[in-house]
Amino acid sequence: MDDPDNPDKRRWLRDAVNPDLVQFHSIKQVVYSGKTKFQNIDIIDTGSFGLCLVLDGRIQSSQSDEFIYHEALVHPAMLCHPNPVNIVIAGGGEGAALREVLAYKTVQKVVMVDIDKEVIDICRRFLPDFHQGSFDDQRTDIVISDARKYLQGIKDWFDVAIIDLVEPLEESPASFLYTREFYQIVKESLKVDGIMSVQACASGWTGPENFIAINNTLKSVFSIIRPYQVYVPSFVELWGFATGSANLDPISLSSEEVDSRIAKRLSKEIKSLDGTGFSGLFLLPKYLRQQMAEPGRIVTDKNPLLTYSERDGISSSLPAS
């Protein structure tokens, strides 16, 4: 039997950041554990970060800090757009990105496209603090489909596209949602003054190669690319994002304008971002800027991006050493 006060008798969630770095989280309770058609899914109550959504053995969102990730993903693009009305979210199964988008008073419709209905159903049931009822908002349209197939053929419709996908694991359908061909499809689905934001993998000291490759790929499609990053504690890492647009540039917004738009547009408080913090998102360190300035890999359908994962779910239940 687990004894939370005795580290030798606890169970542990093993989250492999990469082949050389693993973090362990004490498991207070396994709320749900199973496997969908596409991936392993676990809902774990941890001693470190509270409830966590774990897909294929990797923490995707934690109760303690998911707001940092989701606010960084959603708000730069939404605040940059002059009047975001029609929005598409690719992925986002826990409903937290959807929650942030729906906070905008201008939004009339949000299409959330996710391939895995079971993940949505499980998150709807077990993670209410994450989605906060966003699945039931009358402006929400949930589409169960591959995002690429859904967006194919849609032209000049969306104001903002939020790409909130799992990392591109081997044999995962998400691996073809990080390619130049996919970003071109997203671009064509946007209106002329549209903007896209994308989670762009780890950008910090454990290895920014995928972050750099994603940004190189975006540069081959969009005229204006703005990479940025935030530290997400449950990821043990700086995490990268980027916006892409034909004519919208988030760094053109002054801190005063960002604060003004937040006050006018949103129906709730943003916890991690204000005008001052917004401008700081885009200040990348010198070494990273130098690497990104060099010619680099462009991700294509023929040469997709893959990232490390053990795909083990909660297979490890190890005592502390």
Q: How far apart are CA 214 and CA 78, in angstroms?
A: 21
CA distances to 152, 170, 178, 290 from 237, rounded to whole Å, are 33, 21, 20, 20
Backbone angles phi, psi at 51, to 5 degrees: -65, 135
Q: How far apart are CA 150 and CA 148, in angstroms?
A: 5
* 269 class by beta-carbon count within 10 Å (0-12 exposed, 13-18 middle, 19+ buried): exposed
Helix (H, G, I), strand (E, B) or coil at 233: helix
Residue type, 26: S
CA distances to 41, 60, 138, 151 from 31, rounded to whole Å, are 11, 16, 29, 34
Q: How far apart are CA 212 and CA 76, in angstroms?
A: 19
Which of 121, 181, 125 has its CA nearest to residue 151? 181
3-state secondary structure 46-89: ECCCEEEEEECCEEEEECCCHHHHHHHHHHHHHHHCCCCCEEEE
Catalytic residue among 2, 146, 164, 193: 164
CA dihedral 183, 187, 189, 195 (to 10 degrees): 110
312 is catalytic: no
Strand order in the sheet with 109-114: 140-144, 109-114, 86-91, 158-164, 190-202, 237-245, 224-232
Active site residues: 164
